Amino acid sequence: MKPEVQPNKIVVLSGSGLSAESGLPTFRDSNGLWNQYAWHEVASPEGWQARPEAVLAFYNERRAKAAAVAPNAAHRAIAALEQAYEVVVVTQNVDDLHERAGSTNILHVHGELIYARGTSDARLRYRIDAAPITLGQLCEHGTQLRPDIVWFGEPTQFMEEARAHVASAAKVLVVGTSLSVYPAAGLVKAARGRAEKVLNCLDFDKVPFGYTFMQGKATEVVPALVNTWLNQAQSQA
């Protein structure tokens, strides 16, 4: 049975484009990470087995870069929605810019840079913030620490919870994702017919059915949309 739509609920589905204007590269744009690195070498269990030191170096750099930048106007606007709405952020991003902007209810479906985990047991998580992980650093069960990141071929986290949130949202904002990594990309389809659905990114070939495409930079589009939604909530109060 589908959950009831909650009139005051907003779900934000965010991707790497949201953090681009903070200075973190996306994956698939022309200056994206996958033009500089082979994903199967640095973001897969096979890459980890073959060259763990290269994988650690890749994520150590991502972690240091994420720690050195700040949330942008779009992250802050999303956090401001909590003034008037119940907001759930479902993010593919592995940075912590939503948290640092002030959002309080966030599901990281692809993991988080600020945590390390044991190789053998994903539940053994350790907060490391900006610190690097080195070869030889072990979890309490004696296995090598690895980034707490969902690699290609590994199961995406919190999917059922995320799908239920999208299905009960009155408004869904999709921002900064090419919707090309599944199953996370499939979450857009869980939105209800009568929900207000908006997609913001720089360009998009095939906008999902029922979504209004707002083309442009997240730091311009998202604060304007949030303003409209906050005014709407105020006029309905």
Contacts with ligand NAD, 164-183, as mask; x by CB under 6 A? ------------xxx-xx--
Determine if 71 is a binding residue for ligand NAD (CB under 6 A): no
Q: In a 3-state reduction of DSSP, which class is residue 30?
A: coil
Instruction: Give the nearer residue to ligand NAD in terms of CB position, either 29 or 86.
Output: 29
Q: How far apart are CA 61 and CA 56, in angstroms?
A: 8
Residues 119/146, Cβ–Cβ less than 8 Å: yes
Q: How far apart are CA 136 and CA 236, in angstroms?
A: 57
Determine if 20 is a binding residue for ligand NAD (CB under 6 A): yes
Q: How far apart are CA 174 and CA 12, in angstroms?
A: 6
17 burial via Cβ count (<10 Å: 0-12, 13-18, 19+): buried
Tokens 């939604």 map to which residue? 229
Q: How far is the CB of 113 from ligand NAD (least distance, A)?
A: 7
Tokens of 125: 């998580």
Q: How far is the CB of 68 from ligand NAD (least distance, A)?
A: 13
Quick check: is 110 catalytic?
yes
**Contacting residue, 90, 95, 139, 170, with ligand NAD by CB under 6 A:** 95
Determine if 154 is a binding residue for ligand NAD (CB under 6 A): no
**Contacting residue, 63, 110, 165, 192, with ligand NAD by CB under 6 A:** 110
From the candidates 98, 108, 110, 165, give the one annotated as an active-site residue: 110
Determine if 15 is a binding residue for ligand NAD (CB under 6 A): yes
CA angle 221, 84, 236 (to 5 degrees): 95
Q: How far is the CB of 107 from ligand NAD (least distance, A)?
A: 13
**Contacting residue, 69, 164, 202, 230, with ligand NAD by CB under 6 A:** 202
Q: How far apart are CA 200 and CA 178, in angstroms?
A: 10
Instruction: Give the nearer residue to ligand NAD in terms of CB position, either 168 or 200.
Output: 200
What is the end-to-end Cα distance of the chain in Å, rounded? 30
Alpha carbon 144 to chain centroid, angstroms: 26
The binding site for ligand NAD (CB under 6 A) comprises 15-17, 19-21, 24, 26-29, 32-33, 92-95, 110, 176-178, 180-181, 200-203, 217-218
Positions annotated as catalytic residues are 110
